[in-house]
């Protein structure tokens, strides 16, 4: 009888252990799967846009996205915009809000809080922004075309991570972490470029009003005000004031993400004490209090990122792709686009300039004392640099800011689409041929610390 009880207790323990392991690993797996799945949905949306705009129903594509909508309160009209503007200015502000949350998390608890760990990805990101911009300007040094220098500076994190994730365990976890950190720094650079160089007719008073509202949010956070409607109303005002100031409204999303508190309100020690009070005889009130304590062990950035990331990955970004990837591919226009210096500059900047800038500056940094992640070889690093050349989402977004003439914008989009496709295929081939499962296992064993950091993020 005792042996049966012992066996039952052992089985119960194994069941609890499996549930605990599932609870710990599920968020990491969900993040990777979400990036891959989101990239697939975005790719499908872009394909639909291309087919739609080059079909017999192409007129309906442009008519739909150019439909006017009004934002009004009662009789007062606040803002008039098209559906395409709604996607680019409002929905993409939500996307950049999540980007701001990711940056804040990395600065507080991720790789960017450690200067030495963040140094090499930051150096690589700098090279991956400067060199593509210079290559583009080498082909487009004057006139309106020169405004497109910011287009090839960006990395599409969903596509880049998705390409690497397709190879699964064959890719060194330290290389994946490096790419994620580099992409975050790249996002910071792209946001700065948008805010500084693609802003016309700056309205100082509106900008000060937006800044004041952000300060109000920080004061409210310090005062432990938890009313969601309050933050929602102030956040909408920040967006409206930023849009009215002449700075692109997506910068409001980033700013709101950066002022969101990242540190948890409850320490791990207090959470552990709360969990100790929960057993089979605990009352429902005790269990509820313990659940509330556990909820507060995650900072607001983590909770919001977990809640909003699926929305941006599976709704916002695919809708953006559907609204912006529809370019006419008829023979004459496509021929003109392929002969355009804008297209050539973008393709060479993303396909050649991105990996060249990243690998080149990182190589110089290694000669000065820094070292590559454990187990990562240079051919694999070049493959990662090629993945960073996928500039789909943010590059198309910047092209819309850079070129006011529709034909110029369409030509730039063709360049981005072709460059992203070439970079994706080249990266996949290079990583597949330079990584193998046995090496990945040895690298994982040799780089437990970076791998653990990757999962923690």
The whole-number pLDDT of residue 276 equals 53
pLDDT interval class at 208 (50, 70, 90): very high
pLDDT interval class at 21 (50, 70, 90): very low
Q: Please give the residue that has the higher pLDDT: either 71 or 68.
A: 68
CA distance 15 to 1: 21
The whole-number pLDDT of residue 81 equals 84
CA distance 438 to 317: 36
The whole-number pLDDT of residue 444 equals 47
Of 193-197, 244-248, 438-442, the least confident = 438-442
All structural domains of the chain: 36-80+121-193+317-452 (1.20.1530.10)
The whole-number pLDDT of residue 74 equals 66
Instruction: For residue 232, count other CB atoms closer than 10 A to its CB.
Output: 10
* H helices present in 145-227, as ranges: 157-165, 173-197, 204-222
Q: What is the pTM for the complete model shown?
A: 0.75
The whole-number pLDDT of residue 243 equals 86
CA distance 242 to 251: 8
Maximum separation of any 2 CA atoms in the chain, in Å? 88
Percent of the chain with pLDDT over 90: 31
* 389 and 423 Cβ atoms separated by less than 8 Å: yes
* 249 and 397 Cβ atoms separated by less than 8 Å: no
pLDDT digits (tens, 9 = 90+) for 153-205: 988 877 887 788 777 778 888 888 888 888 888 888 888 898 888 877 778 89
* 191 and 252 Cβ atoms separated by less than 8 Å: no
């Amino acid at each position: 009888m005792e042996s049966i009880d012992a066996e039952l207790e052992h089985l119960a323990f194994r069941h609890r252990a499996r549930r605990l392991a599932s609870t710990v690993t599920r968020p990491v797996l969900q993040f990777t799967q979400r990036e891959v799945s989101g990239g697939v949905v975005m790719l499908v949306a872009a394909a639909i846009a291309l087919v739609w705009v080059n079909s017999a129903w192409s007129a309906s594509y442009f008519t739909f996205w150019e439909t006017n909508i009004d934002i009004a309160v009662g009789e007062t009209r606040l803002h008039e915009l098209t559906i395409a503007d709604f996607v680019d200015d409002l929905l993409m502000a939500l996307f950049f809000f999540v980007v701001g949350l990711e940056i804040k998390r990395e600065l507080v608890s991720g790789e960017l809080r450690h200067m030495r760990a963040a140094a090499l990805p930051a150096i690589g990101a700098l090279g991956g922004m400067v060199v593509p911009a210079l290559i583009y300007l080498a082909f487009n040094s004057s006139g309106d075309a020169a405004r497109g220098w910011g287009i090839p500076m960006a990395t599409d994190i969903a596509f880049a991570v998705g390409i690497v994730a397709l190879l699964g365990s064959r890719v060194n976890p330290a290389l994946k972490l490096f790419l994620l950190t580099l992409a975050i720094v790249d996002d910071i650079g792209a946001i700065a470029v948008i805010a500084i160089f693609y802003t016309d007719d700056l309205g100082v008073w509106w900008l000060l009003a937006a800044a004041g509202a952000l300060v109000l949010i920080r004061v409210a956070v310090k005062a432990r005000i938890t009313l969601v409607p309050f933050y929602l109303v102030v956040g909408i005002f920040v967006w409206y004031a930023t849009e009215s100031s002449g700075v692109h409204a997506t910068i409001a999303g980033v700013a709101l993400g950066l002022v969101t508190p990242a540190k948890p309100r409850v320490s791990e020690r207090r959470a552990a004490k709360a969990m100790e009070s929960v057993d089979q005889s605990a009352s429902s009130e005790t269990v509820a209090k313990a659940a509330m304590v556990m909820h507060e062990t995650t900072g607001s950035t983590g909770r919001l990122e977990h809640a909003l990331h699926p929305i941006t990955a599976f709704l916002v970004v695919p809708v953006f792709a559907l609204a912006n990837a529809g370019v006419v591919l008829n023979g004459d226009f496509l021929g003109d686009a392929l002969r355009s210096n804008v297209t050539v500059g973008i393709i060479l900047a993303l396909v050649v300039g991105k990996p060249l800038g990243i690998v080149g500056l990182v190589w110089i940094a290694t000669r000065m004392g820094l070292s590559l992640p454990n187990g990562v070889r240079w051919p694999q690093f070049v493959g990662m640099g090629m993945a960073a050349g996928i500039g789909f989402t943010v590059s198309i977004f910047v092209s819309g800011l850079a070129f006011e003439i529709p034909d110029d914008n369409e030509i730039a989009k063709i360049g981005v689409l072709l460059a992203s496709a070439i970079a994706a295929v080249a990266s996949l081939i290079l990583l597949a041929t330079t990584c193998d499962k046995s090496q990945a296992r040895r690298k994982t064993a040799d780089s437990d610390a970076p791998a653990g950091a990757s999962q923690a993020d």
